[in-house]
Structure 1
Amino acid sequence: MFFVDTLEFEGLGNRSYLAGGRTAAVAIDPPRDVDRVVTAAARRGVRIAYVVETHVHNDYVTGGLELARISGARYLVPADAAVSFARTPVADGDTVAVDEDLVLRAVATPGHTPHHTSYVLAESGRDVAAFTGGSLLIGTVGRPDLVEPRLTERLARAQHASARRLADELADEVPVLPTHGFGSFCSSAQAEGDATTIGAERRTNAALTKDVDAFVAELLAGLEDVPAYYAHMAPANAAGPAPVDLTPPRPADAEELARRLAAGEWVVDLRNRVAFAAGHLAGSFNFEGAGKLATYLAWLIPWGKPVTLLAETPEQVADAQRELVRVGIDRPAAAATGTPEQWVRAGEELRSFPRATFADLAAVPEKERQDLVVLDVRRGSERAGAYIEGSVHVPIHELHGRVGEVPPGVVWVHCAGGMRAAIAASLLDAAGRQVVAVDDGFDAAAPAGLPLVHPEPADRDQQDGDDPAR
């Protein structure tokens, strides 16, 4: 009897898989921290016979090369992927025997990348799982614009053909097990649900319900900004990532933290946004360890800038390290744990700022509103649905370089739910601005009495023009 174990990586919106039988297994699109896969195999009592990649990933650093090395597994990579390490090239139709009665078949599914390959697991000749990587996702497909702008439309058309090939070749009951699509920016759209089948996708996925021209037009119109750190992921994966070092960072005292801040390095407070707002080290930035730490920190930080982590416990630092190595931020420069009072030098005071709701914003007296700035840090596509009248728009991923563009006054900063607003508030606070973090869902703005603008289609085009990428 076969098994499929799912390894979830919520911070990146991705999944990896371990699939096999009684004695052997295959790892699909493994994470950088390969110990999770090794542990899953040990729990099953199987050896890892194969490690496979669906494509050269653009959103995270793979652990495939290292996992193959330490396990002795054969490393299968699409033949057309340009990589600089030894591997077993895989072409359309190639098969390998994973275990008794278990065969893995390669299916060329270009679109997310030109070389993208899906893998179908068959037991005794019956297809039982389709590992679709960045091809057919839950309710959508992987975005086609991460390789080369001139290839985007061609790859979008290839996505349509690849999704249809999978639907034509596989039975309705075959589970679809993608790598991307659970909040990943590699997905061309976000869909609800965390499980699907070929039959379910056949009924609902635009790639399978619309003709190619309509599908491509819709797909290309919905593409948003690409996280800046993506530019570094594919080259790292093509070169062959080095093993990770998850040993604890060197501890930093208050004097060292002050020196690093003075040098312009990033000191990142991993505590929750409520605790950070109540009291924090001046100049530090708040990226909640329990949020999308890797995605947003890697997106905003100047690549290669040293980062020091602050947390309440060593375990929180360790969790953050594990998240960050997945996006190529390999070693924190230092770390400090405890309370913010321990992170400031004698005689220095902590910074703080208020948190509020949209109802609080609506209740600000009219005479005080002239000295108030409402800053919207959502993406352009979010703002195109509705925004607070008179608000200023700077997407969160652009704010660090555009703080000087925020008009003078007390800045009430909001996003869609509070997490990005907290990051933005910390950036503004570090720049010396007086800030209020709106920790509230945007759907509460209208009921609170705040006037909203609902852009007409022409206005929405302008919004997208102001914010051309996610």
Structure 2
Amino acid sequence: MSAPDLTIVPIETPTLGDRSYLAHDGEVALVVDPQRDIDRVLSLLEEHGVRLTHVFETHIHNDYVTGGLALAERTGAAYLVNGEDPVSFARTPIADGEVVAVGERMRVTALATPGHTFTHLSYALADAAADDGQGADVAVFSGGSLLFGATGRPDLLGEEHTHDLVRAQHASARRLADTLSDDAEVLPTHGFGSFCSATQSEATASTIGQEKQANPVLVQDEETYVRELLAGLSAYPAYYAHMAPANLAGPVEPDLSTPAQADPHELRRRIDAGEWVVDLRNRTVFAAGHVPGSLNFGLDGGFATYLGWLVEWGTPLTLLGETAEDVATAQRELVRIGIDRPAAAATGKPEDWVAGTSHELASFPTATFADLAQVRHHRTVTVLDVRRADEHDASRIDGAVNIPLHELPTRLADVPAGELWVHCAGGYRASVAASFLSAAGRPLVAVDDSFDQVAEVGLPTVGRDA
């Protein structure tokens, strides 16, 4: 009689584009690449009725703060980190080729797969209870190595290392393809929207066999892969620079308790002092009315990614949410990138946040690309494109000025005078940009529309793909 299958549970963090994993045999469990908010893992362990014995880290992460050490300390599990990583905490060192028994059935083999980082490890999971008695490949936790239709980007450790890492990434992916059976699942950490992925895929699952058929790293020769991957790399969030140092130091369990509450006078004082007061509401309601000088990073988009990208590290943050739950959600997102405690928070409606002060709510209009096409027939306006430079180069509205969103806070003086129509690819980044421009007193219209509509409404475009 064959043994029941091992259970593998993905733990998704879609706002950062990452997955962690819990695997168990019904009694004991392992976790790979946990996020900072470990309560999600603890709840799963309780739900499945299993005991955590091992926590594996594929690499020192660049896009989030790990919860690995805190999870291991909370549960008593062994914390396995590459022995070559210069961490400043106690860990169980692991190296290429080592096999770790997790319970009676799970066997985990560490495989050196440099490319995303120099010390990157993937972990091949085998089931020792397979019918042949030899153990059968189940999956590989590939971290930032082999992703769905892509690989992890090789440039996050600095330009001086990119050439070596991209070639190592090609070799590492092929090592996984040559080592594992075709039906082994590929379980990457990155590739679901994370900027740690060189490209993005719509796939939600894959196997080694499927990747052999379609992944560029496995179907292209090394020179073609290297050339095309490097040509496709774009900017990545500035907060990444703070993640590896935090992970090497050993992050503690985060404090998710409710922040101190700020009244309207305190909100104004913080804005006037140059602190960030961040409105978590969606862009439509923010445009209709908001605290003057507040900034819009809605929870309905890439909240932590873009806030972490734009903020000067260490700037005090005050969160404005319609509900306490919204503030709690934002706190959870922020601790994942190392912003541990908001300075303050306030909940309710925007009218509540200016009550008793001399300030009225600010607002700005929103529009579509069809509206922009009509306006350009009647008067001259400046079209400000806040997409990344690679997006702008591929296809842009003729005459548009490009200041990527992540550069805008330090380049407000470069924004042309006059009426501004601000757009991105879908509306989220345009609203973030509009909030900065509105705080600076600039007249603007935020385009809340898909860039796909540009051609439909007859706006002239230029660029590589136009």
Fold shared, TM-score > 0.5 on shorter chain:
yes
Backbone CA RMSD of aligned residues: 1.1
Deviation track 1:418-441 (CA, whole Å, cap 9, x = no partner) reads 110110111100110011110000
102, 106, 125: which one aligns with 2:110? 106
Alignment of 1:434-445 (within 5 A): 434-445=443-454
Q: What is the CA distance between 1:367 and its match in structure 2?
A: 4.1
Tell me the equivalent position of 1:76.
80
Question: Is 2:363 the partner of 1:352?
Answer: yes
For residues 198 and 243 of structure 1, what CA distance do their matches in structure 2 show? Answer: 35
Deviation track 1:300-352 (CA, whole Å, cap 9, x = no partner) reads 00000000000100000000100000001100000000000000143421001
Tell me the equivalent position of 2:441.
432
Question: Is 2:334 the partner of 1:324?
Answer: yes
Alignment of 1:208-287 (within 5 A): 208-287=218-297
Tell me the equivalent position of 1:166.
176
Q: What is the CA distance between 1:365 and its match in structure 2?
A: 5.4
Deviation track 1:50-69 (CA, whole Å, cap 9, x = no partner) reads 00100000010000000000
Tell me the equivalent position of 1:296.
306
134, 137, 141: which one aligns with 2:144? 134
- Give the direction of change, closer, same or farther, for the CA distance of 1:303–1:365 in structure 2 (3 Å limit): closer
Tell me the equivalent position of 1:378.
387
Helix, strand or coil for the counterpart of 1:157? helix
Tell me the equivalent position of 1:181.
191
Question: Is 2:322 the partner of 1:312?
Answer: yes
Q: What is the CA distance between 1:366 and its match in structure 2?
A: 3.4
TM-score, normalised with respect to structure 1: 0.95
Unaligned runs of 5+ in 2: 129-134
Tell me the equivalent position of 1:14.
18
For residues 407 and 455 of structure 1, what CA distance do their matches in structure 2 show? Answer: 25
Helix, strand or coil for the counterpart of 2:455? coil
Query: Which shows bigger deviation, 374-383 or 345-354?
Result: 345-354
Tell me the equivalent position of 1:392.
401
For residues 38 and 221 of structure 1, what CA distance do their matches in structure 2 show? Answer: 41
Question: Is 2:347 the partner of 1:337?
Answer: yes
For residues 272 and 168 of structure 2, what CA distance do their matches in structure 1 show? Answer: 50
Unaligned runs of 5+ in 1: 461-470
Deviation track 1:34-64 (CA, whole Å, cap 9, x = no partner) reads 1101111111101110001000000100000
C-alpha contact (below 8 Å) 1:22/1:99 kept by paired residues: no
Helix, strand or coil for the counterpart of 1:368? coil
Tell me the equivalent position of 1:115.
119
Q: What is the CA distance between 1:95 and its match in structure 2?
A: 1.3
TM-score, normalised with respect to structure 2: 0.96
C-alpha contact (below 8 Å) 1:421/1:439 kept by paired residues: yes
C-alpha contact (below 8 Å) 2:292/2:359 kept by paired residues: no
Tell me the equivalent position of 1:193.
203
Q: What is the CA distance between 1:99 and its match in structure 2?
A: 1.8
For residues 105 and 199 of structure 1, what CA distance do their matches in structure 2 show? Answer: 19
Tell me the equivalent position of 1:57.
61
Query: Which shows bigger deviation, 421-430 or 358-367?
Result: 358-367
Tell me the equivalent position of 1:467.
none
For residues 171 and 214 of structure 2, what CA distance do their matches in structure 1 show? Answer: 16
Deviation track 1:69-105 (CA, whole Å, cap 9, x = no partner) reads 0000000001111111110111111111112221111
* Alignment-mate amino acid for residue 371 of structure 2: D
